[in-house]
Amino acid sequence: MPIYEYYCENCNKEFEALRPASQSQEPAACKTCGEMSQRQLSTFSFKSNTFTAPRLKPATKPMRSYDTQASDT
């Protein structure tokens, strides 16, 4: 099962949920307040014991629109 990222507007927090692909488009309950939250667009990653991954620069998480709104106030 894939891990999906969600954002709760009620408590302004991100969280992850392990869900079946058949439920990927459905909202998930926030782990903090229980409100239904929408899935966020995230990047794909994988781990393999047989594949040597190329050496890449560390990933930086992009700013989300709500991050900039919170810092403006």
Domain boundaries, the chain: 1-43
- pTM of the predicted protein model: 0.58
The whole-number pLDDT of residue 58 equals: 67
The whole-number pLDDT of residue 50 equals: 62
Residue 28 makes CB contacts below 8 A (sequence gap 6+) with 4, 6, 17, 19, 36, 37, 39
The vertex-48 CA angle with 6 and 46, nearest 5°, equals 20
First to last CA, the chain: 38
Would you write out the chain's pLDDT as a tens digit for each of its 73 residues? Answer: 888 899 999 999 999 999 998 988 899 999 899 999 989 887 766 666 666 656 666 667 666 767 666 555 5
The whole-number pLDDT of residue 64 equals: 72
